């Protein structure tokens, strides 16, 4: 059994490699884990190219949704992107915030931070900042963000509960998040959790969808909405690297469903308090 730190190091190493890979390799694999599929299409990611603010140099094909499209970002907002990679979602968010807003990207991979900063400099975006850090301990003061976005990142983090609590902490009262992620319905083959490539590629770190939503609710978020839910089909030429023919058949005929969801939720404007005044309770 790998420790949380060992799992983090797997992700750090893989995403350091991904930062230097060609986008086409990332797109033909499990969230960039490796160029393991001969089928030419994106397994996880959605098409960003039609969104305003899109920058091809910052798109590594690593996402599993379009959270910025659903995030209700307004001019002047402060937006935090968790697992910001080369900066793609940050630059799209900046299109909505304008020059009056601020966008902060957080990533714990040095190579990704360096790549994102180069991209921001090319675009002359002075209100887009990239900070290196662990999203289980977001390097941002409490109550700073109007909006938090993240794209196919929480599934890579061992302690998802800690990340969701941190999102709650950094949001302003009344702030909200829109997060795209990989979740499960049913039981994933046990051996997948032992495969570093699939862990770094989003699948083996995923948890049950219902558990995921319960963690969000338990953290205190309200108005939780499933904005998008799409199935993820993993090609046979990837499955064959990890499962026998019988195991592949059992997986396909079983109850396991891998999906990409985009979830929206709001931090309450004020914490709920006990009723204490005359006429306050019925």
CATH number of the domain encompassing residue 55: 3.40.50.150
Largest CA distance in the chain: 70
Identify whether 188 is part of a domain.
yes
Identify whether 232 is part of a domain.
yes
Q: How many domains does the chain have?
A: 1
Q: How far is CA 122 from CA 50, 55, 166, 213, 243, in A?
A: 21, 11, 31, 38, 44
Q: What is the pLDDT of residue 280?
A: 46
The overall pTM is greater than 0.85: no
CA 30, CA 37: separation in Å to the nearest integer? Answer: 9
44 neighbors 258 (Cβ within 8 angstroms):
no
Identify whether 247 is part of a domain.
yes
Identify whether 148 is part of a domain.
yes
pLDDT less than 70: residues of the chain: 1-2, 4, 6-13, 15-50, 54, 56-62, 194-202, 204, 271-282
Instruction: Tell which residue, 91, 104, 186, has the closest CA to residue 146.
Output: 104
Q: What is the pLDDT of residue 22?
A: 53
Q: What is the pLDDT of residue 251?
A: 85
Identify whether 280 is part of a domain.
no
* pLDDT tens digits for range 108-126: 889 899 999 999 999 999 9
Q: What angle do CA 139, 141, 142 make, to 5 degrees?
A: 120
Q: How far is CA 222 from CA 111, 138, 168, 175, 264, in A?
A: 36, 21, 11, 11, 9
Structural domain boundaries, residue 154: 4-266
Identify whether 271 is part of a domain.
no
* Interstrand relation of 222-231 and 128-132 (parallel, antiparallel or unpaired): unpaired
Q: How far is CA 84 from CA 131, 179, 234, in A?
A: 9, 12, 24
* pLDDT tens digits for range 238-265: 788 888 899 889 888 888 888 899 999 9
How many CA atoms lie less than 13 Å away from 227 in the CB half-sphere? 18
Q: What angle do CA 120, 121, 122 make, to 5 degrees?
A: 90
Q: What is the pLDDT of residue 176?
A: 98
Identify whether 159 is part of a domain.
yes
Identify whether 277 is part of a domain.
no
Q: What is the pLDDT of residue 238?
A: 78
């Amino acid at each position: 059994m790998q420790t949380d730190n060992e799992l983090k190091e797997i992700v750090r190493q893989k995403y350091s490699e991904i930062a230097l890979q060609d986008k086409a390799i990332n797109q033909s694999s499990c969230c960039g884990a490796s160029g393991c599929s001969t089928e030419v299409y994106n397994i996880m990611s959605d098409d960003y190219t039609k969104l305003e603010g899109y920058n091809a140099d910052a798109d590594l094909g690593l996402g599993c949704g379009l959270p910025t499209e659903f995030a209700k970002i307004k001019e002047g907002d402060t937006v935090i992107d968790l697992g910001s990679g080369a900066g793609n979602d940050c630059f799209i968010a900046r299109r909505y915030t304008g020059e009056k807003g601020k966008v902060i990207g957080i990533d714990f991979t040095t190579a990704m931070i360096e790549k994102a900063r180069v991209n921001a400099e090319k675009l002359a975006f002075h209100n887009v900042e990239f900070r290196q850090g662990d999203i289980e301990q977001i390097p941002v003061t409490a109550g700073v963000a109007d909006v938090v976005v993240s794209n196919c990142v929480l599934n890579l983090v061992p302690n998802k509960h800690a990340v969701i609590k941190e999102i709650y902490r950094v949001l302003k009262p009344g702030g909200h998040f829109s997060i795209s992620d990989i979740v499960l319905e049913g039981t994933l083959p046990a051996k997948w959790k032992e495969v570093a490539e699939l862990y770094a590629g989003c699948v083996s770190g995923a948890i049950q969808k219902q558990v995921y939503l319960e963690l969000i609710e338990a953290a205190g978020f309200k108005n939780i909405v499933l904005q998008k839910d799409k199935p993820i089909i993993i090609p046979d030429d990837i499955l064959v690297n990890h499962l026998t023919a019988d195991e592949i058949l059992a997986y396909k005929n079983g109850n396991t469903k891998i999906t990409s969801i985009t979830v929206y939720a709001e931090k309450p404007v004020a914490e709920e308090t006990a009723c204490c005044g005359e006429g306050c309770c019925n």
